[in-house]
């Protein structure tokens, strides 16, 4: 099935959503949520992405991000791959954690961005109205919810370091000292809006914005469809060529005739394990820290040292160098 093209441009703002496979939970406890937010901050820094807000729900996430570099696919691939790897290792599972591709809906700035922020921050109490929970109780639940950026915006706790609150708070028509309390009131006022009046994510086709903005997004989408005959997202295809870490390990296992379990075993030191470190870093979009975590090889700095040692061995041994580079080329081609 052809993929719907994504709209990429420098400075684009997106409402990003991602669900767990088959609606399953993607967080088992607070340790998972903390790790996801750590990965979010790292990915944002690595890719120069501005995170405006987030909300973590049991089986899905909401993000609003701006991409000065027009690189939403690379950013999300980095984030989701790193977190899924951590989750599977920690909970002893395998396979996909996330359901299909993430959704990235373009957002017009100013009032549309502000209203969307209210919609997302209210997610933890969305549905309470249908259970006839009083507004006051819902407001208390909203203020108590720890896993969104709302508490930071509202001045209820120290803001998250990676969240850029400036643009949204600047929209509050009050003096700077009162912007956080004004934003908190703005979001809480949304509790009085009937839930049937809130837009559905599934109903948003082109983006969040006025008619002119939506027409521009639609035109850009149609242009992408014409440009790529298969209507695929080229940026997504580029990152999709980076293999699942377990598949990379199977390639190394076959080449060096060792088991994947040995490659992952702490203290197993030979050229096959070093090659696995290098291939994972090259072909799985993992940072050196992520590679070290997967293979129990220590910190990112420790992995860097191991890779430097392998490169020295390759410089001294042309046969080893050819073997490593041939393996890398084969993985890149996706051929056995």
The CA distance from 328 to 322, in Å, is: 10
Which of 81-95, 197-211, 308-322 has the lowest average pLDDT? Answer: 197-211
pTM higher than 0.75, yes or no? Answer: no
Q: Do 92 and 190 contact (CB within 8 A), yes or no?
A: no
The CA distance from 35 to 38, in Å, is: 5
3-state secondary structure of 304: helix
The CA distance from 53 to 124, in Å, is: 14
The tens digit of pLDDT for each residue in 98-112 reads: 998 899 888 887 888
CATH number of the structural domain 12-238: 3.30.70.1290
In the chain, residues under CATH classification 1.10.1750.10 are: 243-333
Partnered with residue 65 across adjacent β-strands are 14, 51
b vs e for 62-74, b when ≥16 Cβ sit within 10 Å of the residue's Cβ?
bbbbbbeeebbbb
The CA distance from 321 to 123, in Å, is: 53
Tell me which range, 42-46, 203-207, 281-285, is most confidently predicted by mean pLDDT. 42-46
| Residue (of 53, 102, 45) closest to 69 by Cα position | 45
In the chain, residues under CATH classification 3.30.70.1290 are: 12-238
- Torsion of Cα atoms, 33 then 34 then 38 then 39, to 10°: -30
Instruction: Supply angle C-alpha 327, 332, 336, rounded to 5.
Output: 60
The tens digit of pLDDT for each residue in 257-303 reads: 888 888 888 765 678 888 888 888 777 767 777 888 888 888 877 88
CATH number of the structural domain 243-333: 1.10.1750.10
């Amino acid at each position: 099935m052809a993929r719907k093209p994504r709209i990429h441009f420098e400075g684009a703002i997106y409402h990003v959503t991602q669900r767990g496979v088959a609606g399953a939970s993607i967080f088992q406890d607070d340790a998972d949520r903390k790790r996801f937010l750590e990965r979010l901050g790292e990915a944002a820094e690595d890719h120069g992405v501005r995170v405006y807000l987030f909300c973590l729900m049991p089986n899905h996430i909401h993000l609003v991000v701006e991409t000065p570099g027009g690189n939403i696919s690379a950013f999300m691939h980095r984030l989701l791959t790193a977190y899924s790897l951590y989750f599977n290792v920690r909970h002893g599972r395998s396979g996909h954690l996330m359901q299909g591709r993430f959704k990235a809906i373009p957002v017009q700035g100013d009032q549309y961005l502000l209203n969307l922020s209210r919609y997302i921050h209210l997610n933890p109490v969305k549905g309470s109205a249908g259970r006839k929970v009083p507004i006051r109780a819902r407001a208390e639940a909203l203020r108590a919810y720890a896993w969104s950026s709302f508490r930071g915006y509202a001045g209820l706790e120290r803001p998250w370091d990676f969240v850029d609150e400036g643009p949204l708070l600047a929209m509050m028509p009050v003096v700077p000292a009162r912007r956080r309390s004004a934003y908190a009131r703005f979001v809480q006022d949304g509790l009085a809006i009937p839930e049937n009046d809130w837009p559905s994510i599934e109903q948003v086709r082109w983006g969040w914005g006025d008619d002119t903005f939506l027409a521009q997004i639609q035109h850009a989408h149609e242009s992408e469809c014409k440009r790529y005959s298969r209507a695929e997202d080229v940026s997504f295809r580029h990152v999709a060529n980076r293999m699942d870490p377990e598949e990379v390990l199977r390639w190394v296992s076959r080449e060096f005739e060792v088991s994947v379990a040995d490659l992952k075993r702490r203290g197993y030191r030979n050229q096959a394990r070093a090659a696995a470190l290098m291939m994972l870093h090259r072909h799985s979009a993992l940072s050196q820290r992520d590679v070290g975590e997967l293979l129990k090889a220590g910190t990112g700095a420790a992995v860097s040292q191991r890779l430097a040692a392998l490169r020295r061995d390759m410089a001294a041994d042309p046969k080893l160098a050819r073997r490593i580079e041939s393996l890398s080329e084969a993985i890149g081609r996706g051929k056995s």
